Homo-oligomer: A and B are copies of this chain.
Amino acid sequence: MPDVFIDNQRFYNPVDYVLQQIGGTWKAPVLWRLRTKTLRYSELEKDIPHISQKMLTKTLRELEKDNIIEKKVYAKVPPHTEYSLTAKGKMIIPLIESIRNTGLELMKEEGIDYDAMIKEEKKNVLKK
């Protein structure tokens, strides 16, 4: 497995190349929410549990740099920005679904029904 240089950065192999772009804790949660719709900064912040402003901003900047998402700024007061997937971003979504499905399978082997947990959560949100 030879090294590859792209944009002056070195990658050890194709998996490394992908995981540098969509790996880590926060990239998948952002992309997952953008898969069906455009969202604002504040919507992402509200929707993604545990994410800090710092990590959300960093994640967005990296996804932009790698041309996976694009940002649209409406120069108004108060400011309004929207994030959406690029063509490359849309190419990557099926892979995230594959990773997610593998996760659901592995959880099932551990006796956990994650889809049921999501439904429970939605019910509780509505109660409040």
Contacts and interface: CB of A to CB of B under 8 A. Distances in A.
Q: How many copies does the complex hold?
A: 2
Interface in A4-59: 4, 6, 12-19, 21, 23-25, 28-29, 32, 48-50
B99 A4 contact: no
A6 B50 CA distance: 18
Contacts of A102: 14, 18, 91-92, 95
Interface string A73-106: 0000000000000001001100110111111111
SS of A interface (majority): helix
Contacts of A100: 13-15, 18
A86 to B, nearest CB: 12
